[in-house]
Amino acid sequence: MVAGEGRIAREVASLWQGDKTMKIQESRHDEFLTCEVREGIAVVTLGQGALDITISLTSRDNFLALISEVERMDEVRALLIINSSAYPGVEGQRLFFDALTGGDDTSHAERERLLSVEEHARYRILMKLMDFRKPVVGAMQGEIASPFFGISLAFPLRLAAEDMSVVFPRKEYDFPPGWPLGLFLPRYVGQGRAAEMMLSGRPVQAATLLEMGLIHEVCGADSFVARCIERTMELCRRSGHRVSEINRMLSPDPAEISNCFNESMTIMKRALHSALN
């Protein structure tokens, strides 16, 4: 059900071929991810194969190791995470849930294990990025699946391309939108509006997200990456330590995050049980 872990692991291992600038080599005709330092900004771009970060333990651990390496680089002042137009966030969610709820002979226990791997990966990634000692900026384009948008809500700066929208592919399978959206969304828009968004499952366009205060700027498609780097550099003109500390002060504490995650896992397992019966 989850294929390609060996291939992805080999690709991620090539991240350390470089020195101060790390760039993964293309595999076949697509990219897993790239990481390069541009003007003091570590720009991590998620490509076509990057969904394996959440469904492959090897890919997840190598991604977390990459973030740790970037954090130790003295010349890096901030981390900018961008999804490329090829990143299969929504398509990947559908493929994963097709496999998770499909009618083959995979045992219930194995399906629950796969679900747990995917959910725990997002938990580990979120905690790693929240503990990052320098500012983290999220830059999104195209359709962004709700769980991954939820992670971006932990960042002090969130940017979007004009074609960006948040979508809820899990609704097609009668599953909740996915952790950690439910943790952060009410903090921005209130309990009522958060419930409306999560229950309706209607796509939310970038312009609307801007009005709601969920993103900080909608950038033109032609200069998207350049503008994201520019905004990140503007953020770095302030004290990076101060930005990180203020963001940490405004974030939920670790106990709240852990409790919300455990509750979400219980709900997701119930939804899986219902889908299989």
Q: Which of 101, 98, 8, 20 is nearest to 55 (CA)?
A: 8
Can you give the pLDDT at residue 10? 38
The pLDDT, as a whole number, for residue 91 is 80
CA angle at 38 for the pair 37 and 42, rounded to the nearest 5°: 40
Confidence of residue 209 (pLDDT cuts 50, 70, 90): very high
Phi-psi region of 136 (alpha: psi -120 to 50; beta: other; left: phi over 0): beta
pLDDT, position 99: 85
The confidence score (pLDDT) of residue 19 equals: 33
What domains can you pick out in the chain, each with its CATH number?
Answer: 5-275 (3.90.226.10)
Q: Give the predicted TM-score (pTM) of the model.
A: 0.85
* Averaged pLDDT for residues 47-73: 84
Report the pLDDT value the prediction gives residue 244, as an integer from 0 to 100.
73
Contact 138, 159 (CB under 8 A): yes
Q: In this predicted model, what pLDDT tens digit does every residue of 70-116 receive, in sequence order?
A: 999 999 999 999 988 766 678 888 888 888 888 778 899 999 998 99
Decide which of 6 and 181 is more confident: 181
